[in-house]
Amino acid sequence: MSTRAESLHAYLSGARWFGGKGRAFTVSDVHRLGVVPGRTESPVVIDIVELTYDDDGSTELYQLPLVLASDPDTHLDQAFVGWWEDPDHGWVHAYDAVHDRESMSLVLRAIAATTATDGLTFVRVPGHELDLEATPALFSGEQSNSSVLFGEDSVLKVFRKITRGENPDITTHRVLTEAGCPHIAELYGWIEATTEDGAPIHLAMLQQFLRTASDGWEIALASVRDLFSEADLHADEVGGDFASEAARLGTALAEVHEQLRDAFGVGTIDAAVVADQMNRRLDQALDVVPELAEHADRLRGAYAALAELGDFPVQRIHADLHLGQTLRTIKGWKLVDFEGEPAKPLSERLLPDSPWRDVAGMLRSFDYAPHALARSMPDDGPGVVAQREHRAEEWAARNKAAFLAAYAGDPEVLAGPALSHEEGVQVAAYVADKTVYECVYEARNRPSWLPIPLAAVARVGTP
């Protein structure tokens, strides 16, 4: 292994955004896409590192924007990747460029100028005047990607794991921005490259920074805390009642789905095919979560009802929607991260799907919030614990009904959904499928939380 490959291996292994932790791999290739224009000393390059995993021979691509300095830079010690002989610039000290303010300012100026180099294209969406004097700052909370804030003007999301093809986070935000959708952070620009065979690769996207935003999951938890602190009050009687916000979320999602239908069109899919996919996922889940076996007939019943619907419409959707993918601002709710389910390959994430999958994700999130908080609180005796569980069920039911009714366009948004038989069948099946996924996830990652989706499985058939 060369010095360069050794350094890249060590840096990737320790990066918080690296998705292959715990798996042995080798750095099998490094490909340079291009150089960010604007600086000759300590150039900023964008490299794609190919990894090959030892266990199955599969490969993945990761993006590394690098500052190549001829001398050490002590200000970037925390971002040091390695010291090696670069094929284009000789011996260099390489640093992860997202940590370097000057480098990120170069990237912002390249987007603003709609620059194109031999290997890179920086695209700007017309309409917003970018603040080129804003000081870049790396956001420390990101996991699978890296985000750089430019003051209170914009944020650059650098995709770390790269897949050939267009990223739905960019293509979806683009059409929603052009449609004037008020429920997203506007797209300001992006960076792309082209492979040797002409396939596009999306590397990063620049968006509006939502200065007043609050995380939807945290707002929901605050509402639940208010309810738990008032043991003698019902969910609709406490000051932190979330139902009106749940209804606004339902309206926002309905409007986003409508604009996505207009932009990407609508297709159809055979319900029996979808039901078969759900059954196969259940078969796999039973190997991981044996506790699902006693509920398997109920789950398969929900899938069988779906299979009888014939063809139903599919379209571009969010595909990984939950409260953690929402932000509340002074101008209303915003939906974020349209990349789709991270575990799925890009080819699957680009496929149209039923909008009821997004609805199911939100319904499950409304169920998770109160029960997750209840499990995190101290055991104050069976009476108190039982009271919390009762209130958790009440909170979840109230907010699911408000959300679903608003999504369906019912003016009595707190009175419950007004769904057709076909819509109700789809909701039940997609909720069941999502809950099975949650059971597998919790069994593998948070076994103490497994009772939350398992309890929901027993209620399959009702939203």
CA distances from 346 to 167, 280, 341, 343 (A): 8, 20, 9, 9
Q: pLDDT digit string (tens) for 156-195?
A: 999 999 988 889 999 999 999 999 999 999 999 999 998 7
pLDDT at 433 over 80: yes
How much is the pLDDT for 400?
94
Supply the angle between the helices 243-264 and 216-229 in degrees, to the nearest 10.
160
Six-digit token string for 346: 């890009």
Q: pLDDT digit string (tens) for 288-340?
A: 999 999 999 999 999 999 999 999 999 999 999 999 999 999 999 999 999 88
Strand, helix or coil for residue 328: strand
Question: Are the CB atoms for 300 and 285 separated by under 8 Å?
Answer: no
- How many Å apart are CA 156 and CA 109, to the nearest integer? 12
Smallest CA-to-CA distance from 453 within 428, 395, 437, 343 is with: 437
Section 123-134 average pLDDT: 95
Six-digit token string for 290: 């044996």
Six-digit token string for 433: 């499928």
pLDDT above 70 coverage of the chain, percent: 96
pLDDT band at residue 463 under the 50/70/90 scheme: very low
Average of per-residue pLDDT values in the chain: 92
pLDDT at 285 over 90: yes
- How many Å apart are CA 31 and CA 88, to the nearest integer? 12
This prediction has a pTM of: 0.90
Q: Three-state secondary structure along 205-259?
A: EEEECCCCCEEHHHHHHHHHHHHHHCCCCCCCCCCCCCHHHHHHHHHHHHHHHHH
How much is the pLDDT for 238?
72
| Cα angle 84, 85, 91; round to 5 | 90
